[in-house]
Structure 1
């Protein structure tokens, strides 16, 4: 009897389980389950597609360059043409205001969808409120930040690490430094060309002295270095203190920079009788009287290509950027040229998708092949450097990658406003007879007075 009772209980349990299974598999419940799954799918699709996909419909996006050398030949080759080729319905137009118009004036009267910037303008554009915080767009579009070179992206993050941690820009390229030299001038004076060996400043000054001379009424200058601001980039030096905003010039490293610039100015013939001392791009590229120039890649490659297209060419080449003897193996700071989305744009998603496309391997390959160092980690792209730009054909482009570039120093919100004090200090060394300590002291006092004024106009960082 006991066994029979147990058997009956087991049979009842099986019947109950069968009934439950039968109930769950009714047509109504199957339909409900299917509907729930479809709803989940629809939700996922909606979350993915709540922005317009690039290429869905005709659209024109505008771009404005706030700083950094970016001639039209590069804008078309690196951005406008590749985007148009891949997305025929997408047009990128450039906003080109009058040369005297400030960034602030442009951004108050125009709403460019994409903003091209460098460290020469980042802090000022932040103050206008024109930069969109890209963190949400990065997430929405599954942008892989890990592909960007750390020395570039870490600089972008440092800009706001003391604030809210916003991401205001995506690095576009690594604007590295190189030594350009005019082979015709070296030949004229029988001086051997620089090689792939990274030179010390002492070695470069010896060469410069041999090239700084007058020939047939033409004054040749052996070396152009962008003076104090350029030389300081070999040591990654800030101009003002990160915490106080006061002048940061009273240090052993800045003393080395001032002393080196003084030595350059003292090369016989470097400062002309009419007090010309500040030698730059035009004298190297157009006048062709500079033997060597140490500066950024972007500062010269695009303009040299534009000049070539105008029918002006000369015999020049690359060598690694020199540095202090205890810094060999390193070059100068790699300046970040970047792309941002305007916070007032009506096409933020499309603008960011353009940026993401430019940062793809395909987009960065175009950039590399046309003379800019990629912002992404992909050594294969660097092997293609310069292959498509005529002005780099036959140049020793491998010298671009000799030496480790430094991360650009933190650019304080006051720095852009006080840079003129360093130009004045260089002039004091060149033509006003100041010794290095006096020049440092004078520049420090001027900067600190400027900072007092800036605190009332800009405010503390």
Structure 2
């Protein structure tokens, strides 16, 4: 009996030993614990805010590829045959959209966007890093988060140093009011050698309205919002500048890019008060000796240069790759990429990090020696809520401003008639 027990015990020990060995040495083909490589994904990005191919590579493609090698980005540019409406109709809505602040509401009302707050939370994106006003601007009144800002627009007073030197007038200074800028501009108006030199170009009443956060259409009522005292003040300023003898514009309300070209090519404008035209004016081809001063202020709005105008990243509701898309938002709004953007492309960051201001334009050759900190001496008014019909209202109002500057109507008539025409348009749209 003892012999059998010993043999039985020995056999049991051998069996247990072999079983234990089998547990510590998995079969060579057992790959269950190895991390799975994500499938390659191509995300389309629809260009709404202006961006060059080079900057898209620098700020989007390369940093995203570095952190997430399986994500590729393809830029879809706005073109005659390529509009967002066409893409929606064809069922090819891009994964990521880049609307300005004024276009976010329209996209949400077209049911193209969705609340990305859960995805942002899942990705551990800290919204406290952003200037609160930029986040508030992309939230709905219900608290839904439609997008994340990645750049901000800014205004500046550009001036031609050669013209000021030529006429022996002191350069513009930071902190000027519009009255002071107008008086300085008058000193530069003259006709010499058959060339008419203009002292001050404010571009348009539209840009002059920014500090008051005005709209042409009330987003809540969808009725005209042009005929009021604030718009009247804006038109009075526009008229006071653009009807000074010798300072008139042949084509009024033309837009910042057009006026930037005139400032650069014709070189007969002493000061241009406009949005961010640094890349356009600073290019090697421009050949203009320029600098900037702080954008002029209304007396009742000291150091307010404009309204909040952000460039944003939104994810389309129909995207099949929402989790990958939010990774793109994470990378582009990271401190690393935002600092790269500020240093290399002179884009104003929506982040609160003070380094973004300190290092702004540090690697942009044409900004060296310029009074760059002038743009940070002003703040912006909150971004208004825009109606989907804002652009239509703007066209009507600006046409009426052209009549005003041509002397065909007075300010009160222009405001009243524009409101009437906008309301008629809105009735038709409804």
Q: What TM-score does the superposition give when structure 2 sets the normalisation length?
A: 0.83
Alignment partner, residue 187 of structure 1: 165
Structure 2 residue 311 is the aligned partner of structure 1 residue 337? yes
Alignment partner, residue 81 of structure 1: 62
Listed one character per residue, the Cα deviations across residues 87-112 of structure 1 (whole Å, up to 9, x for unaligned) are 44433221124346433124444332
Structure 2 residue 288 is the aligned partner of structure 1 residue 288? no
Q: Secondary structure at the match of 1:340?
A: strand
2:105 equivalent among 109, 123, 127: 123
Q: What TM-score does the superposition give when structure 1 sets the normalisation length?
A: 0.78
Q: Secondary structure at the match of 2:138?
A: helix
Once the 2 structures are TM-superposed, how far is the Cα of residue 174 of structure 1 from its aligned partner?
Answer: 2.0
Alignment partner, residue 290 of structure 2: 316
Between the aligned partners of 1:301 and 1:346, the Cα distance in structure 2 is 38
Listed one character per residue, the Cα deviations across residues 163-190 of structure 1 (whole Å, up to 9, x for unaligned) are x543211111221222122222222332
Alignment partner, residue 347 of structure 1: 321
Is the alpha carbon distance of 1:327 and 1:390 closer, same or farther for their aligned partners in structure 2, counting shifts above 3 Å? same
Between the aligned partners of 2:175 and 2:427, the Cα distance in structure 1 is 42
Is the CA contact (8 Å cut-off) linking 2:224 and 2:393 kept in structure 1?
Answer: no
Is the alpha carbon distance of 1:97 and 1:254 closer, same or farther for their aligned partners in structure 2, counting shifts above 3 Å? closer
Alignment partner, residue 10 of structure 2: none
Is the alpha carbon distance of 1:81 and 1:289 closer, same or farther for their aligned partners in structure 2, counting shifts above 3 Å? farther
Is the alpha carbon distance of 1:181 and 1:99 closer, same or farther for their aligned partners in structure 2, counting shifts above 3 Å? farther
Is the alpha carbon distance of 1:168 and 1:201 closer, same or farther for their aligned partners in structure 2, counting shifts above 3 Å? same
Is the alpha carbon distance of 1:60 and 1:391 closer, same or farther for their aligned partners in structure 2, counting shifts above 3 Å? farther
Structure 2 residue 148 is the aligned partner of structure 1 residue 170? yes
| Residues matched between the structures, number | 390
Alignment partner, residue 46 of structure 1: none
Alignment partner, residue 223 of structure 1: 200
1:385 equivalent among 360, 364, 371: 360
Once the 2 structures are TM-superposed, how far is the Cα of residue 86 of structure 1 from its aligned partner?
Answer: 4.3
Between the aligned partners of 2:327 and 2:266, the Cα distance in structure 1 is 42
Listed one character per residue, the Cα deviations across residues 396-438 of structure 1 (whole Å, up to 9, x for unaligned) are 1111100222111221232122111221122012114321111
Between the aligned partners of 1:354 and 1:286, the Cα distance in structure 2 is 38
Q: Any unmatched runs of 5+ in structure 2?
A: 1-34
Alignment partner, residue 414 of structure 1: 389
Between the aligned partners of 1:287 and 1:349, the Cα distance in structure 2 is 50
2:212 equivalent among 214, 235, 242: 235
Listed one character per residue, the Cα deviations across residues 58-98 of structure 1 (whole Å, up to 9, x for unaligned) are 433221112x3323343233222333344444332211243
Q: Any unmatched runs of 5+ in structure 1?
A: 1-48, 457-461
Is the CA contact (8 Å cut-off) linking 2:61 and 2:72 kept in structure 1?
Answer: yes
What pairs up with 1:98-117 in 2 under 5 angstroms? Answer: 98-99=79-80, 101-109=82-90, 110-117=92-99
Between the aligned partners of 2:244 and 2:71, the Cα distance in structure 1 is 54
Once the 2 structures are TM-superposed, how far is the Cα of residue 228 of structure 1 from its aligned partner?
Answer: 1.7
Once the 2 structures are TM-superposed, how far is the Cα of residue 382 of structure 1 from its aligned partner?
Answer: 1.4
